[in-house]
Amino acid sequence: RRLIAYVVPADAAVRPSALDMRARLAETLPAYAVPSLVRVVDDLPLTPNGKVDRTALERRTVQERPEVNAPHREPESDLERAVTGMWCDHLGLEGIGADDDFFELGGHSLLAVALIAELHREFGTEISPISFYLDPTPAGLARSLAQAGAPR
């Protein structure tokens, strides 16, 4: 489970930056309360009794790559493509790039451990959590897998 913030801008012409909002929230909130993803939406769907319809909100929110610091780069090697595909499955997102940071995409430590375990099952090589945290990108993990002897 992840904490996702849905934001409706006061001025529809001005779309706030999700990265800037996360950074500002991190200045005032404890780390556990900072949303892992911020989605800017036009409006919040309501139920007949006026409450936010969470199910409808989740359904109409496109699960595409959120705004992150890295420019989008398609995976180039087979290992990068395999790792990126696993990330898409674990994070429930599409369009993840080879240089995207796992934690900026909404990943967290428990999800990282699950991903490391799947990488081990798939490639038969160990990736240490330290390696994951030092370079939490598909390209970084592909390099770590290649160094550990994973088939290319």
- Residue 136: what pLDDT? 92
Angle between helices 109-123 and 138-147 (to 10 degrees): 40
Predicted structure pTM score:
0.65
Q: Which residues pair with 52 in a beta bridge?
A: 46
Angle between helices 138-147 and 78-91 (to 10 degrees): 130
104-133 average pLDDT score: 88
Q: What is the dihedral sign for C-alpha 34, 108, 141, 87? A: negative
In whole angstroms, what is the distance from residue 38 CA to residue 85 CA? 22
Domains of the chain, start order: 4-60 (3.30.300.30), 78-147 (1.10.1200.10)
- Evaluate if residue 64 carries a pLDDT over 60: no
